[in-house]
Amino acid sequence: MGSTPQARTRSRTDADRHGNVVPLRRLGTGQSLSPIRQAEAYWTAMGGPGAIPRRSDLDPRGLGNILDQTLLLERIAPGLARVRLAGRVLHGLAGMDLRGMPMTALFDARSRAGFSDVLRSVFDGPGSAHLSLAVGAARCGDRQSAGMALLPLRDNAGAVSRALGVLVVDGDRDALPPCRLTITGTQITDLAARPEVDPSRRRSLRLVAARPD
């Protein structure tokens, strides 16, 4: 994950000081956070150090200005997940409403097996995944770079069967015609070795954009 143990400790301390509201600015270095860093910070704040949060902990208001770039996946089989919720950026890439469709529909044929392996790592590990991507197809003109993060979530039974995702596309997203994603790099972080915290001690947190001091 992008957050260090010190950063996670700092985010919890700030939550205690600000009534369980975590200002985004205080979770980073004082500069604007990328959408992926925002999602990672919120994911960490939901579960607390060492914990994988539950889907029921997720409050869309906590994702604020990155909702257009987020998605929620549900595991339906080993290596397969369908889209439960998706923002405008993902619908624009696909040229259709993705809800209910397998996430592999967004990837070109040569990357689908690799993405299935990523999903196995996220759900079975469990683990977090960072993907470097290229966006394009023959009819799309110039290819653009993109990045994706997938962060595991537990269901009400405690199984890791959901994932919070964020997709960031460089350039003018609104100008993209229906395109497909190609995986150019993958980084998996194994979360299984992290000690779990007592779920009863977790707090309901949400992230908000910081106001100027």
CATH number at residue 174: 3.30.450.20
- In the prediction, which pLDDT does 109 show? 92
Choose among 130, 149, 162, 148: nearest CA to 54: 162
Least confident of 5-14, 29-38, 78-87: 5-14
Domain membership flag for residue 139: yes
Domain membership flag for residue 72: yes
Domain membership flag for residue 197: no
Residues 6+ apart with CB under 8 A from 114: 183, 186
Q: Reply yes or no on whether the pLDDT at 122 is more than 70.
A: yes
Average pLDDT over residues 190-203: 57
Domain membership flag for residue 138: yes
Q: Where are the alpha helices (DSSP H) in 18-87?
A: 35-47
Q: Reply yes or no on whether the pLDDT at 164 is more than 60.
A: yes
Domain membership flag for residue 15: no
Average pLDDT over residues 30-44: 79
Domain membership flag for residue 199: no
| Integer Cα distance of 107 and 200 in angstroms | 39
Q: How many domains does the chain have?
A: 1
3-state secondary structure of 26: helix
Q: Reply yes or no on whether the pLDDT at 25 is more than 80.
A: no
| Integer Cα distance of 40 and 59 in angstroms | 14
pLDDT band at residue 206 using 50, 70 and 90 as cut-offs: very low
111 vs 208, residue with greater confidence: 111
133 vs 171, residue with greater confidence: 133
Task: Provide the whole-model pTM.
Answer: 0.74
Domain membership flag for residue 36: no
DSSP character at residue 177: -
Q: Which domain holds residue 71?
A: 51-192
Domain membership flag for residue 24: no
